DNA sequence: GTGAAAGCGCTAACAA
DNA sequence: TTGTTAGCGCTTTCAC
């Protein structure tokens, strides 16, 4: 059975006008029960599927959202992408996925591609959050996790400062005084915010020595390995390392094992994000948990809410984080702030 | 500056017809250099972006591909999705991402959504590879990693049988005789193929005892943990475990650590996929590496190649795998078959 | 409550 | 080489 591809055909078969078929498809109230039933039956029988391109052209909306992230391979972003996709689907939207590979140029070309496809909104975790994007303004933009230049975008992210602060505060509680910092790319605001949280808390105590020089790098395993190798070779070796994401923290774990160190006996490690893997590595990872589900769902929400007009709406949303402490035995302890 | 939104406007400004503007946009040869320059300039100046919906409607193609996978959160699929997205982008296509959450029902609704959006092709890793999908046939379909019922789809996957076989062969070489099998969902063909590879190789030697009963479960960490707990409690404890993916293998690692076992001293473990994490866990994971890049790129290739007519084209593509042996010291050794 | 018809922005066939 | 125009499939106003 060849599926029918035009509303005209359906109208003909059902013996009604295209207008009526359209009204039925869109659930308009002013259609008689009789015609509605007839049209519905015809549609089902003919396996008819309305043409989204035509509808989009006519309605000026594609029921599609764009998501631009640095790298879907990063577990934090794949968790995020999943929650965005699920929420978008729940609302009848599709999600176009783009990886910027941490390049603003690639990012811009993705934006262009999305705009050409008339997406109804763009959610983006910018590669470099001090750069602005061209062509934006005709469509709702949500900056996710990372800031975006320009006044048009809404911004949603976690409490990076507070998260780092509570991690370091916990390490101090455990008695650590020499705590090292592994950061993400130095240019990013999230990196700076987490660093400030770290520094500010350490400033509250008196330390014998100065802090180890922070180590910056991409949010991946390798950075953690390199950072740890660097820190562990120091004369005044840190007893704890705070990493800016879980992948880095796992890299630190890896390097500590290679160096023959016990974790947490010889070295304490805290990560950031709380990806599923954190509860699986050996030993389990203590980390600052982001509310990834909420970040994803809310960003869809923002992208889809018509904000035009309501100038006073919140431009920046900061979601709370919580410290998840995992020990070799017993269940994880969640410490909110 | 308000960006211009119609080709008519551009035509007016440049003092030409819409036809000419269209020809310039599409790089048609028969336009004089003078007009081409004028139109190009006007477009750039007006920040004009052609409307993809209208073009798609007219051309019957959306320059968009659909990808349906069980779960982007699974590192194997996020690697795959990335390579698909990169290849699609390279060819000027966008990628719509959908998670089926391992449900055929969800899967079908994603297919419907994609068809309504007139995607030019669908790449799918089916949740259940014995189920067929409705509405397919109007668009090129590529079954990726997992088989799809129906004759219309192309199929591309790795050599699951050979991969499992070479893993088990390697374990035999190391002297293991009691090797356990952790499988993915039992209904999947990939699970069965990997199991056959495992069984067939073991059938070539004489074993004192019978094989441990295989353990099946989703492709995640937890399955590995549970499987290992099960196997390690056996009276006749296996000395090696072959897991059907790296996440499961990492779960086994986790459980072995909890049980106080040394890997590989007390227990050898081999995984499947070779996700980046495999080289980072402690100890590093020996695994069967899939050519994920090629899988992704080729599936885009298949989805985009007009196969209509060429009936003799290969319907099934099987990509070779290789065993990557990682030891506590030294670089990984790649053993192809 | 229903039908007729204009038009969303674009391309391609045809005419000039 | 360039312009004119029909029409892709749909929605919605307007008239009945």
Chain C nucleotides reached by a protein CB under 7 Å? 1-13
Question: Is the pLDDT confidence value at B130 over 60?
Answer: yes
Beginning with the edge strand found earlier in the chain, give each strand of the sheet holding B322-325 in spatial order. B215-216, B179-183, B240-243, B268-273, B286-289, B322-325, B333-335
Mean confidence (pLDDT) of chain B: 93
Contacts with A, B 130-189, CB within 8 Å:
135, 137-138
pLDDT band for position B309 (cuts 50, 70, 90):
very low
Residue where the block lists tokens 């390690």: B232
Residue B2: CB less than 7 A from any atom in strand D:
no
Are residues B192 and B227 in contact, defined by beta-carbon separation less than 8 angstroms? no
Angstrom distance, B336 CA to D11 C1':
59
- The partner residues of B179 in beta bridges, in order of sequence, read B240
Beta-carbon separation of A113 and B94 below 8 A: yes
Which residue of B89, B117, B135 is in closest CB contact with A64?
Answer: B117
pLDDT number for residue A309: 43
Structure-token pair, residue B127: 């949740």
Nearest nt (C1') from A53 Cα: D9
- Distance separating alpha carbons of residues B274 and A253, to the nearest angstrom: 20
| Residue B51 CB partners (closer than 8 Å, separation 6+) | A57, A116, A118, B5, B6
Are residues A288 and A271 in contact, defined by beta-carbon separation less than 8 angstroms? yes
Q: Per-block average pLDDT, block size 10, for chain A (337 residues)?
A: 81 95 95 96 95 97 98 98 98 98 96 97 94 89 92 92 98 96 96 97 83 96 97 96 98 95 95 95 95 97 74 78 92 84
Q: What share of chain A is helix, strand, coil (3-state, %, to 5)?
A: 40, 15, 40
Nearest nt (C1') from A33 Cα: C1
Q: Which of A103, A281, A284 to mutate to test the interface with B (most CBs of B within 10 A)?
A: A281
Q: Shortest CA distance to A186 belongs to which of A164, A228, A218, A229?
A: A218
From residue A199, alpha-carbon distances to A202, B123, B195 in Å are 5, 48, 53
Contacts of A114 in chain B (CB under 8 A): 94
Indicate the range of A174-183, B64-73, B128-137, B267-276 predicted with least confidence.
B128-137
| Residue A181 CB partners (closer than 8 Å, separation 6+) | A195, A198, A211, A212, A214, A215, A241, A242, A244
pLDDT number for residue A307: 56
Chain D nucleotides reached by a protein CB under 7 Å? 1-5, 7-13
Omega cis (within 30) before A283: yes
pTM for the predicted model, two decimal places = 0.95
A73 reaches B (C-beta below 8 A) = yes
* Residue B19: strand, helix, or coil: helix
Give pLDDT tens digits for B34-75: 999 999 999 999 999 999 999 999 999 999 999 999 999 999
Contacts of B282 in chain A (CB under 8 A): 253-254, 257, 281-282
Q: Chain centroid to CA B31: how far?
A: 43
Contacts of B85 in chain A (CB under 8 A): 72, 97-99
Contacts of B257 in chain A (CB under 8 A): 282
Residue B97: CB less than 7 A from any atom in strand C:
no
- Distance separating alpha carbons of residues A321 and A189, to the nearest angstrom: 17
Which residue of B72, B225, B276 is in closest CB contact with A78?
Answer: B72
Residue A42: CB less than 7 A from any atom in strand D:
no
Are residues A185 and A230 in contact, defined by beta-carbon separation less than 8 angstroms? no
Phi-psi label, residue A222: left if phi above 0, alpha if psi -120 to 50, beta otherwise: alpha
Nearest nt (C1') from B58 Cα: D8
A24 reaches B (C-beta below 8 A) = no
Smallest CA–C1' distance to C7, residue: A58
B79 reaches A (C-beta below 8 A) = yes
Residue B58: CB less than 7 A from any atom in strand C:
yes
Beta-carbon separation of B280 and A3 below 8 A: no
Beta-carbon separation of A116 and B73 below 8 A: no
pLDDT number for residue A337: 63
Tell me how close the Cα of B49 comes to any Cα of chain A, in angstroms: 6
pLDDT number for residue B335: 86
- In A, minimum Cα distance to B284 occurs at A254
Helix orientation angle between A189-202 and A160-173, rounded to the nearest 10 degrees: 30
Tell me how close the Cα of B231 comes to any Cα of chain A, in angstroms: 19
Which residue of B97, B114, B225 is in closest CB contact with A97?
Answer: B97
pLDDT band for position B312 (cuts 50, 70, 90):
very low
Beta strands at A286-289 and A322-325: parallel, antiparallel or unpaired: antiparallel
Indicate the range of A288-292, B209-213, B266-270, B305-309 predicted with least confidence.
B305-309
Beta-carbon separation of A97 and B99 below 8 A: no
Angstrom distance, A298 CA to C7 C1':
36
Which residue of B72, B116, B276 is in closest CB contact with A50?
Answer: B116
Residue B57: CB less than 7 A from any atom in strand C:
yes
Angstrom distance, B35 CA to D5 C1':
21
- A148 CB burial (10 A radius; 0-12, 13-18, 19+): buried
Give pLDDT tens digits for A236-285: 999 999 999 999 999 999 999 999 999 999 999 999 999 999 998 989 99
In degrees rounded to 5, what are phi and psi of residue A123?
-110, 125
Beta-carbon separation of B282 and A116 below 8 A: no
């Amino acid at each position: 059975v060849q599926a029918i591809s035009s509303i005209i055909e359906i109208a003909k078969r059902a013996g009604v006008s295209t207008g009526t078929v359209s009204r039925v498809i869109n659930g308009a109230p002013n259609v008689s029960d009789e015609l509605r039933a007839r049209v519905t039956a015809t549609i089902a029988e003919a396996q008819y599927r309305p043409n989204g391109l035509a509808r989009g052209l006519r309605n000026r909306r594609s029921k599609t959202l764009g998501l631009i992230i640095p790298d879907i391979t990063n577990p934090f972003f794949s968790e995020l992408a999943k929650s965005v996709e699920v929420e978008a689907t729940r609302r009848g939207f599709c999600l176009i996925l783009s990886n910027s590979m941490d390049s603003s140029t690639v990012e811009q070309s993705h934006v262009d591609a999305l705009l050409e496809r008339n997406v109804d909104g763009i959610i983006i975790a910018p590669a470099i959050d001090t750069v602005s994007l061209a062509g934006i303004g005709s469509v709702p933009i949500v900056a996710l996790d990372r800031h975006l230049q320009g006044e048009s975008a809404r911004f949603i992210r976690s409490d990076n400062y507070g998260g780092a602060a509570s991690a370091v505060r916990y390490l101090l509680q455990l008695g650590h005084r020499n705590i090292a910092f592994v950061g993400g790319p130095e240019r990013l605001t999230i990196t700076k915010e987490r660093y400030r949280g770290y520094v500010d808390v350490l400033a509250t105590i008196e330390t014998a020595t100065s802090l180890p020089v922070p180590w910056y790098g991409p949010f991946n395993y390798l950075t953690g390995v390199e950072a740890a190798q660097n820190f562990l070779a120091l004369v005044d070796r840190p007893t704890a390392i705070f990493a800016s994401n879980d992948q880095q923290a796992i890299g630190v774990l890896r390097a500590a094992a290679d160096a023959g160190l016990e974790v947490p006996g010889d070295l304490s490690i805290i990560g950031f994000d709380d990806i599923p893997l954190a509860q699986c590595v050996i030993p389990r990872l203590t980390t600052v948990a982001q509310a990834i589900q909420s970040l994803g769902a809310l960003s869809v929400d923002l992208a889809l809410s018509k904000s035009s007009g309501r100038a006073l709406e919140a431009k920046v949303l900061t979601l709370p984080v919580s410290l998840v402490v995992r020990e070799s035995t017993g269940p994880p302890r969640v410490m909110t702030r």
